[in-house]
A and B are shown apart, each in its own frame.
Chain A
């Protein structure tokens, strides 16, 4: 009984992914049977569909992929480094007002993007950042509330005696942070890096507001552009393009499942 339920639930959960893959291997008619014409023709269609998507002139997916990777790389590096520094200040440094500052930081997670969207647009326009990648990665270098929270929770689990020992050895906070805390926190740093990568990959409203030119589009905007030409764009090509966007995150998920789960449970159980 329970196995029947599990199979049903898993099949339902995976249906969108399976559907996307199935259509991306098919012909222009999405109602045509799966693997029509045998493995040989299917392989040809896969080559044709993905080849078309990756070389299409009006929508330049290899470029969108590079743009997204570039924004992700800059953002992930920045958010991981800066959040770790700030999280150290919220966990291993003891100072008056720390608790209050931490609550303030947590409550900023409630601020919806639409309220800051217009002012950020005018501010970035003032300094000439609209139509560049800068609005999408520079803010990440100043720490992200959720990442700081996760890293702080992790840093608090590291025994305090380690700090004391390193202080006796004459290390200040900076060396303690770099030589003791960071090396012990690789799994938590990975969680933060992974979550920010997922955020960049998923972000739609940010690029929509701050990017102006097609050459700068991310995969999310590129896919939207491709979708807007529905009617001229057959479904198999659209699904092939979707697969191009989805494949990297699915591969990451399969490889780093534990990291995902640990990060999310930390957020939930200690929230």
Chain B
């Protein structure tokens, strides 16, 4: 067994070190610096101390976008976790054409978000869209009318949450791998003890896949904090800014209002929130997650 010198190691990871310095460390440092300046691109950044951060405290739009992002994040993660675990359990059954069913469930996740947004823009159209056609086809006899999906904050947010469910494919694949790794003996031992299907799911399967849930929740937080393309194309800011999310606000400040300083400070805030939440989830995970052999 040979041990290499540190310089050999650094040389091999050199491409990443270089790229990391130029495209990550430098921009993050610049973002922190711009966050303390007034910067319009037309002239060099003017230091303004913590103005951008105190401005956040009485920026009602920031409050709205943070609330919207948090609401979307929590609901889409909870909904996505429940749906993807259910789908994984369903697809783990040994049935004929198993690979077809799995492929069908995964397929929509490869659609580019822009394409998905265009498809749903028509799908949710109150007049001619398939969503309301189906709702009225099924429940029209009871006088139920399809909602005006983009007309109210509630329905616009609901529309976005529903769309996010067509992207659960990767999570389902990861849960399927997790379910496959649950030892058969545990199932058998529990059923000998007279534990029913639901009991086995709650007391055996869920604890065994809890590390996978933790992983998916962290990925979910990172993604939800950055939700951008679908709302931009589908709902825009939404009625009363109900679907205006943090990344959209950063983009608008930077490239619509030309306020690079405030946009950078908002980006730093976003980064800090992701770090805090991921840390909190990991800490909570220590208590709640079961690690085999730990």
Q: Please list the residues of chain A having a beta carbon within 8 angstroms of any beta carbon in chain B.
A: 2-3, 5-6, 9-10, 13-17, 19-20, 23, 29-31, 82, 85-86, 88-90, 93-98, 101, 105, 108-123, 125, 139, 141-143, 145, 148, 160, 164, 167, 173, 198, 201-202, 204-205, 208-209, 219-220, 223-224, 227, 230, 235, 238-239, 241-242, 245-246, 249-250, 252-254, 257, 260-261, 264-265, 267-269, 271
Contacts and interface: CB of A to CB of B under 8 A. Distances in A.
Contacts of B274: 110, 112
A250 B106 CA distance: 11
A119 B265 CA distance: 12
| 7 interchain residue pairs of minimum CB distance | A142-B19, A89-B12, A95-B9, A268-B174, A115-B267, A119-B30, A119-B27
A123 B25 CA distance: 13
A139 B112 contact: no
Interface stretch (B56-64, B116-124, B197-205): B116-124
Contacts of A120: 23, 27
A94 B2 contact: yes
Contact of A223 (B30, B107, B114, B120): B114
B95 A6 contact: yes
A143 B174 contact: no
Contact of B123 (A19, A122, A208, A250): A19
Given A31-B128, A253-B107, 6 more contacts: A5-B90, A31-B127, A97-B6, A114-B226, A118-B34, A264-B170
Interface string B100-118: 1111111110111111111
Nearest to A238: B118
B93 A14 contact: no
A96 B110 contact: no
Nearest to B247: A114
B53 interface: no
A224 B115 CA distance: 9
Nearest to B225: A112
B5 A265 contact: no
B260 A122 contact: yes
Contacts of A239: 118-119, 122
Size band of the interface chain B makes with A: 35 or more
A54 B180 CA distance: 46
Given A249-B110, A265-B174, A141 B123 contact: no
B177 A13 contact: no
Contacts, number: 283
Contacts of B2: 94, 167
Given A14-B107, A261-B173, A142 B22 contact: yes
B267 A94 contact: no
Contact of A112 (B15, B116, B216, B247): B247
Interface in B29-77: 30-31, 34, 41
B112 A249 contact: yes
Contact of A86 (B16, B125, B229): B16
Contacts of A23: 122
Contact of B112 (A142, A201, A254): A201
Residue of A109, A114, A246 with most chain B CB atoms under a 10 A cut-off: A114
**Residue with the greatest number of chain A CB neighbours at <10 A, chosen from B14, B15, B275:** B15
A151 to B, nearest CB: 12
A56 to B, nearest CB: 15
A108 B20 contact: yes
B188 interface: no
20 contacts: A10-B101, A17-B111, A29-B128, A86-B13, A88-B12, A90-B13, A94-B2, A94-B3, A94-B4, A116-B27, A142-B22, A143-B15, A143-B19, A198-B110, A204-B113, A241-B118, A245-B112, A264-B173, A265-B173, A268-B212
Contact of B228 (A122, A204, A267): A204
Given A116-B28, A227-B121, A6 B178 contact: no
A118 B215 contact: no
B226 to A, nearest CB: 5
Given A110-B278, A112-B225, A246 B107 contact: no
B110 A139 contact: no
Given A16-B116, A204-B229, A205-B229, A101 B13 contact: yes
Contact of B130 (A19, A88, A116, A241): A19
A16 B166 CA distance: 9
Given A82-B15, A110-B278, A269-B178, A142 B119 contact: no
